Amino acid sequence: MKYFLNDTWCNDSTVTSLPVGATSLSDTEWDNRQNTPYVKTEEDLQRETNATSQAYLASTDWYASRKSDTGEAIPDDIVALRVAAREAIG
């Protein structure tokens, strides 16, 4: 068996037991993957965009709360970036 741990492929001769968090592959799966670079799919990219956009929205939610509580306007650049973040979430 081959194992992937911390961005490193190991095999049975270097690993005496399956480390915590390692993913085991059969020899056939290893042979099919070892020379194939990982290419992000559209779904992977959208998932990353969603996470980044949601994190940005969460980090700037206080502007909306402040506006609601005090009436102080949200800066235009923040408004534009929040709109773009919401539109990017798919």
Q: Which of 48, 32, 29, 28 is nearest to 40 (CA)?
A: 48
- The whole-number average pLDDT for the span 9-19 is 50
3 touches 11 (CB < 8 A)? yes
Per-domain residue ranges of the chain: 2-33, 42-88
What is the predicted pLDDT for the residue at 90?
81
What is the predicted pLDDT for the residue at 19?
46
Task: Give the separation between CA 22 and CA 2, rounded to whole angstroms.
Answer: 10
86 Rama sector, left if φ>0, alpha if ψ -120 to 50, beta otherwise: alpha
Task: Give the separation between CA 37 and CA 22, rounded to whole angstroms.
Answer: 19
